[in-house]
Structure 1
Amino acid sequence: MAVDAQRQWGEQVVRATNAVFPKRIEIDTWPLCRRYLSQAQVCSGLIQDYAFTFEEAAALLYRTAIYLQMYALYEQAEPLYRQALNIYKQILEPDSLEIAATLNSLADLYRVQGKYKQAEPLYQRALGIREQAQGPEHPDVANSLNGLALLYREWGNMSKQNC
């Protein structure tokens, strides 16, 4: 098969997998996530191999990363978050809510791994975007503030233990 045809088929696979992978990652949708996980992971390779930069590709990577993080598969989730973030940065405005959500989720991942210095600027950037776009009273702003608060509490506890 010609390279162009492979690329077109790869794009269709990514779009189709994005269409069936659950939009909300929660306990009720875990069985469907598990069902489509291997396809989503193959799509991650296709997205990287063909340098796809369309929104459905980033969304699929982001949601797959969330699912993997929920199962504490942090090393598998991190590159997907990073890949999604890179795509969003290429195709969206720098203050988009998708970028903020991805930054916040990647910060959550780093926080639970104890990578506090990596998490802090991501939370702060997500918070800035959300405050500007949604106003200080929005629940997403509270989510970023909560992440920062947890980070500072855990980081402080680690400092005390190392004294």
Structure 2
Amino acid sequence: MASIAAAVSVPTFSGLKAESKAAPAQVVSSSTVVRMAPVRASVSNETLKNVGKALFAASSSLLLAASANAATVKMGGDDGTLGFFPSSISVAAGESITFVNNKGFPHNVVFDEDAVPGGVTVDALNHEDYLNAPGESFTVTLKTAGTYEYYCEPHQGAGMKGSITVS
């Protein structure tokens, strides 16, 4: 029998260094231009009318809201004086009057039931709870023409009263 002996040599690598003689890599930037066809906005006349109506309604509401608050009355003077400032005002029917606590004394607004137009219920108008802090407010809307007299309950004896004429 014959024997076959083969010599196989396996190379070994140790201490390899990566060496390159090629030029360093270059960064290349590119831009892509996309061209789009123009888009035409198509709005019908009906849509424009609806938008116009909505804008008109919104602006009218703002104007009405602004004119609805006809007067502001300070409860207490800037110098701390007890009183309503101004003490007498005139407004149109349906307009609102805002009473604002000016200096922080406890104030309220009570309408005199004997000094309001006939048929007006003062309980619906009164704000008997005290406004204690500066800036606290109460708003009332008077719808019936005539003269309304009111006072601050804790300071009525000091002359804190006023009147509103509604036309």
Report if TM-score (shorter chain) is over 0.5: no
User: Please, what TM-score do these two structures have when normalized by structure 2?
Assistant: 0.25
User: Please, what TM-score do these two structures have when normalized by structure 1?
Assistant: 0.26
- Give the helix-richer structure, 1 or 2: 1
